Amino acid sequence: MTTGSRRSPLALTILGLLEDGPLHPYRMQHLIKQWGKDQVVNVGQRATLYKTIGRLAEAGLIEVHETTRDHLYPERTTYRLTDAGRAASREWLVEILSTPRNEFPEFPAALSFVPMLSPRTTRDLLAARRDLLVQRLADREALVREAGVELPRVSLLETEYLQAIIEAEIRWIDTVVAGLSDGSITWDQGQLQDAARRLDEDS
């Protein structure tokens, strides 16, 4: 099946929110924040949400349910899920859950150019990143505790995943910072140029 619409985390989130019934964009944005989906989905500005809604409507995955007018509020258009949208959300979930994909985050890209900096500067920057990750981990754990609601584990899977990723990155940074501190990870321009020259000769 082809949906005619490009898959994205925000598009999947909109389809998922509409599973429980029609919503207008403001309510969608509120629920994304309330349910912590903004931790895993980059909503950006409200214009981004409206643009994605428009794209899903053009593809026939959602449709206008009703438009209401009230002198106290601006005109509000409510959207509902179509059968095609329900099928698309299932298809996307199956693909995403079963098949890893290269997503090209910026941190690994920056790591590939670390030799532009000195080992000492790299060590200090990674140590600063570690401190921020530790704080982020503590903040996430506090949010879960402060919710004060006993949620089924399935509702917290994305939070568990993010925490596991942060914990793994902290452990990895610790090994790299240790290597940069004891000199087992080091480089200089001459060493890098020799490696690049050997690579050219072998290719």
3 pLDDT above the threshold of 80: no
Q: Where are the domains of the chain?
A: 9-98, 106-202
Contact (CB, 8 A) for 83 and 1: no
23 within 8 A of 79, measured Cβ to Cβ: yes
Mark residue 100 as left, alpha or beta (left: phi above 0; alpha: psi -120 to 50; beta: remaining): beta
pLDDT digits (tens, 9 = 90+) for 125-162: 999 999 999 999 998 888 777 765 677 888 888 888 99
Query: Domain 9-98 classified CATH 1.10.10.10?
Result: yes
Alpha carbon dihedral 189, 190, 193, 199, in 10-degree steps, equals -120
Task: Output the pLDDT for position 149.
Answer: 65
In angstroms, rounded to a whole number, what is the distance separating the alpha carbons of residues 59 and 85?
A: 9
Stated pTM of the model: 0.82
CB 162 within 8 A of CB 39: yes
Of 63-67, 71-75, 157-161, 189-193, the range with the highest mean pLDDT is 63-67
What is residue 99's predicted lDDT score, i.e. its pLDDT?
Answer: 95
**How high is the pLDDT of residue 147?**
62
The secondary structure of 4-15 as a DSSP string is: SS---HHHHHHH
